Amino acid sequence: MEFSYSFDFQTLASHYKTGLLKPTAVVAEVFSRIHASGDDHVWTHVLPQADVMQAAQALEQRRNQRGDALPLYGLPFAIKDNIDVAGLPTTAACPAFAYIADKTATIVDALRHAGALLIGKTNLDQFANGLVGIRSPYGVSRNAIDARYIPGGSSPGSAVAVAAGLVSFAIGTDTGGSGRVPAAYNNVVGLKPTRGLLSTAGLIPVNRGVDCPSVFALTCDDAYEVLTAARGHDPLDPFSHAGDCDLDPPRRDKFRFGIPGDDKLEFFGDAAAQKAFQTNLEILKEIGGTAVEIDFAPFLEVGRLLFSGPWVAERLVPVKELFFSKSDAFHPTTRAIFERAAKLSATEVFEGIYRLAELKAQTAAEWQKMDCLVVPTTGTLYTVEAVEADSIKLNTDMGYYTYYVNLLVLCALAVPGVFRDDGLPSSISVIAPSLSDGMIRHIGASFHRKCNVTLGGTAFAQP
């Protein structure tokens, strides 16, 4: 589809300032685009247009009459359907589990207060278990770049809604890469901030002690505007913290970025992905980076703990009643995950905790060599057909570069890189220690601008 204007923040803000657009006009355009996109399996629930239009009208009056500072004024957004909004259904892509929420998640309240307009809730891998985006009874969200390819999971609808130009930004969740893998597949930015900066109150967790809300946006600065508006300590979330974190520090002219040695770089036989990554590394050097080889082995072992180790047991907590009473309500792959979770012992959990502590100490030594870690967001891109034929293995492939981040309490930013020789997108992830979010913001933004790729699946240039 061809649109007359982009939904990136800078474009909409400038149009609002000049009077060329009002939020009510943008809402009308959003619903026109959703209608034109057809059966794309992006949404599980779209709010009535009249309700969103009423909210937009109230927003215009709020600014005109009171002059409120609204950093996200008139920006349409979507949320993953494992996040509550009072009066709306929350399904987690499992109809047997669905309920009408009586409270709104803290993050949604914050975004609305900042002036953003909620459009609807998006499709996901059931209970956010997966990195492929095809484990949903609501269908497979259509990849915004090439429909033959998976959209990436477990937040496919949120990523596609942004990439397809249906909303300005979207909220997903991230346990082991669900806020980054779909970004890579759809040529958008995926921000996984330091855990605790964004509240998880009102979110159905996968691993409650590991989960983090994530942000999909068209540019790095857009993603960080969302983080700035929504961050803050929430007494309803015991894992929340205010965090001494400057989200807009002075830009660095020089930085050291770690990369895995050649023996640990994995592209799963995809030569186009490997070539694109090497080009992306050269661009990082052009913007002031110096590459440093690091020992990637302990990071990989941490990743295996998350999905092949005892942390799988934590996944059963939010769904245990339904699972033990009606296991046939689950997607077959999701059910297999929960069956394995039910067999893990407390002893295995403690052994995993001890091993994680040892591996954290090993990774700490590697951080002395680098300011940030840079890896491909995904080692390759898979088609829907390929994943349907071998879902478990290819899902694990997707997490090769992402699984370890939350267990190590790191922050990460997935950023579109150059397009591959075959016309598909590439993406790098810039990863750093806890509360280093601002530093990777500027590296990611400089890299994205230097790559000069279009926004998502649209034809619009970066602002």
Backbone angles phi, psi at 450, to 5 degrees: -65, -35
Answer for the pair 145, 163: CB distance below 8 angstroms, yes or no: yes
Residue 219 tokens, joined = 């540019």
Residue 339 pLDDT level (bands cut at 50, 70, 90): confident
Query: In angstroms, what CA-CA distances link 405 with 117, 177, 300, 434?
Result: 31, 8, 10, 10
Whole-angstrom Cα distance, residue 118 to residue 101? 16
Q: Which of 158-167, 328-337, 365-374, 424-433 has the least mean pLDDT?
A: 328-337
Helix (H, G, I), strand (E, B) or coil at 43: strand
pLDDT tens-digit map of 19-32: 999 999 999 999 99
pLDDT of residue 74: 98
Mean of pLDDT values over 143-167:
98
Q: Which residues are catalytic?
A: 80, 154, 178
Q: Is the dihedral of CA 151, 223, 6, 36 positive or negative?
A: positive
Residue 263 tokens, joined = 């023996």
Residue 1 pLDDT level (bands cut at 50, 70, 90): confident
Q: Which residue has the tokens 């075959």?
A: 422
Q: DSSP code of 378?
A: S
pLDDT of residue 337: 84
Whole-angstrom Cα distance, residue 409 to residue 218? 25
pLDDT of residue 228: 97
Helix (H, G, I), strand (E, B) or coil at 232: coil
pLDDT of residue 18: 94
pLDDT of residue 371: 98
Classify residue 386 as exposed, middle or buried by CB count within 10 Å of its CB (0-12, 13-18, 19+). Answer: middle
pLDDT tens-digit map of 286-317: 999 999 999 999 999 999 999 888 888 888 88
Angle between helices 23-37 and 49-66 (to 10 degrees): 160
**Does 38 have pLDDT greater than 80?**
yes
CA 132 to chain centre: 13
Residue ranges of alpha helices (H) inside 318-435 are: 320-325, 332-342, 346-367, 384-389, 391-398
**Does 334 have pLDDT greater than 90?**
no
pLDDT tens-digit map of 385-401: 999 999 999 999 999 99
**Does 242 have pLDDT greater than 90?**
no
* Percent over 90 (pLDDT), the chain: 87
Mean of pLDDT values over 224-246:
94
HSE (side-chain half, CA atoms, 13 Å) at 43: 21
Residue 318 pLDDT level (bands cut at 50, 70, 90): confident
Classify residue 361 as exposed, middle or buried by CB count within 10 Å of its CB (0-12, 13-18, 19+). Answer: exposed
pLDDT of residue 285: 98
Mean pLDDT across the chain, nearest whole number?
95
Q: How many residues does the chain have?
A: 463
Mean of pLDDT values over 273-282:
98
Residues facing 217 on adjacent strands? 169, 189
pLDDT tens-digit map of 73-94: 999 999 999 999 999 999 999 9
Q: Is the dihedral of CA 208, 46, 332, 172 positive or negative?
A: negative
HSE (side-chain half, CA atoms, 13 Å) at 252: 21
Whole-angstrom Cα distance, residue 246 to residue 438? 6
Higher pLDDT, 6 or 330: 6
**Pairing assessment for the beta strands 255-260 and 212-217 based on DSSP bridges:** unpaired
Which CATH architecture does the domain made up of 255-405 adopt? Up-down Bundle (1.20)
pLDDT of residue 131: 96
pLDDT of residue 331: 84
Mean of pLDDT values over 193-198:
97
Q: Which of 135-139, 229-233, 339-343 has the least mean pLDDT?
A: 339-343
Q: Provide the residue ranges of all domains of the chain, joining segments of one domain with +.
A: 9-230, 255-405
pLDDT of residue 431: 98
Residue ranges of alpha helices (H) inside 38-140 are: 49-66, 106-113
Which CATH number describes the domain made up of 9-230? 3.90.1300.10
**Does 225 have pLDDT greater than 80?**
yes
Q: Which of 164-168, 276-280, 322-326, 366-370 has the least mean pLDDT?
A: 322-326
Name the amino acid, one letter, at 409. Answer: V
Helix (H, G, I), strand (E, B) or coil at 343: coil
Residue 151 tokens, joined = 């959209």
Backbone angles phi, psi at 256, to 5 degrees: -105, 125
When computed from its CA atoms, the radius of gyration of the chain, rounded to whole angstroms, is: 21
